């Protein structure tokens, strides 16, 4: 039981730092670790990860709001389409095998980590100011549909995809993008977790409780530090966390098979 608790705490550590620093979905880290190390079924692992995301994203959003780094008004437009397609993605995910989902989760985590390290996201809000309101709404809805489906289906990448779209497509400044992302993710995670629990039943309570508490603690800490840090610093910290977590997970999996 000690090993199981330790794995959940470490998963929460990585997830919390990712959520607080860059608006990542907790599932980016928690899902592959639970699936690969503890052999938790993919559908259940993603449900636990999304449930861990709810409080962590909510408190992180509150911290960003306190520092005026959140856009609730425009974020609501994207959130509606995200919520709808999160349910759609969760339903479709029920027909995909565990091995496929676990592999996708791990590959996605490594890719995101390398992206942060190699090419930090440091866009400004100039592009947003130059975009017409109608186009902004249309693009927001389209982005929300894509993010929602990915979040519900794979359980990872929702927050990161949202961050990338908010900065590169909608022109948000990084901290504003992160704050808006965690605001939306708090609702998305709740919808995704609830739909998975209804469809697949409740997960292991020990894993669920430890992951939620660990993620919450580290996300709160990270969000406070993030609002006082430079954008490039945030990118590199998160990139390092994801890459190290990915490599560690692969090493543990190899050792288990020996």
- Residue (of 44, 56, 3, 52) closest to 27 by Cα position: 52
DSSP type of residue 38: S
Q: Record the tokens describing residue 99, joined without a space.
A: 């091995």
Question: What confidence tens digit (pLDDT) does each residue in 107-144 have?
Answer: 766 777 787 788 776 655 555 555 567 777 888 888 88
Is the pLDDT score of 214 beyond 90? yes
Which residues neighbour 61 within 8 Å (Cβ) at sequence distance 6 or greater? 70, 179, 182, 183, 186
Whole-model pTM: value is 0.75
Three-point CA angle 139, 142, 147, nearest 5°: 120
- Residue (of 249, 205, 225) closest to 64 by Cα position: 225
* CA-based max dimension of the chain: 58
Average pLDDT over residues 227-231: 81
Q: What is the pLDDT of residue 209?
A: 92
Q: How many domains does the chain have?
A: 1
Q: Which domain holds residue 159?
A: 2-257
Average pLDDT over residues 212-223: 92
Q: What is the pLDDT of residue 181?
A: 87
Question: What confidence tens digit (pLDDT) does each residue in 16-56 have?
Answer: 888 888 777 777 778 878 888 888 887 788 889 889 989 89
How far is the C-alpha of 28 from the C-alpha of 141, rounded, in Å?
A: 23
Which residues neighbour 101 within 8 Å (Cβ) at sequence distance 6 or greater? 31, 35, 42, 43, 46, 93, 154, 155
Question: What confidence tens digit (pLDDT) does each residue in 139-198 have?
Answer: 888 888 888 787 667 655 567 678 778 877 787 877 888 888 889 888 878 877 887 788
């Amino acid at each position: 039981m000690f090993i199981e608790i330790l794995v959940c705490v470490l998963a929460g550590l990585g997830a919390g730092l990712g959520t607080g620093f860059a608006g990542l979905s907790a599932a980016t880290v928690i899902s592959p670790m639970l699936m690969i190390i503890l052999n938790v079924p993919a559908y259940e692992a993603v449900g636990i990860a999304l449930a861990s995301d709810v409080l962590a994203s909510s408190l992180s959003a509150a911290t960003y709001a306190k520092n005026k780094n959140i856009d609730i008004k425009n974020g609501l437009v994207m959130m509606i389409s995200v919520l709808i397609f999160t349910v759609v993605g969760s339903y479709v995910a029920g027909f995909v095998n565990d091995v496929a989902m676990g592999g996708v989760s791990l590959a996605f985590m490594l890719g995101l980590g390398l992206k942060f390290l190699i090419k930090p996201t440091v866009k400004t809000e100039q592009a947003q100011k130059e975009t017409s309101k109608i186009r902004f709404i249309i693009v927001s809805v389209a982005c929300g549909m894509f993010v929602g489906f990915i979040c519900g289906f794979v359980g990872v990448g929702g927050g990161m995809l949202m961050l990338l779209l908010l900065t590169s497509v909608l022109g948000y400044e990084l901290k504003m993008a992160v704050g808006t992302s965690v605001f939306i993710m708090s609702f998305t995670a709740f919808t995704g977790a609830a739909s998975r629990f209804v469809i697949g039943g409740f997960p292991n309570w020990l894993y669920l409780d430890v992951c939620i508490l660990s993620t919450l603690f580290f996300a709160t800490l990270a969000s406070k530090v993030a609002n006082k840090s430079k954008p490039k610093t945030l990118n590199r910290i998160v990139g390092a966390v994801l890459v190290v977590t990915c490599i560690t997970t692969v090493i543990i999996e190899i050792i288990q098979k020996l």
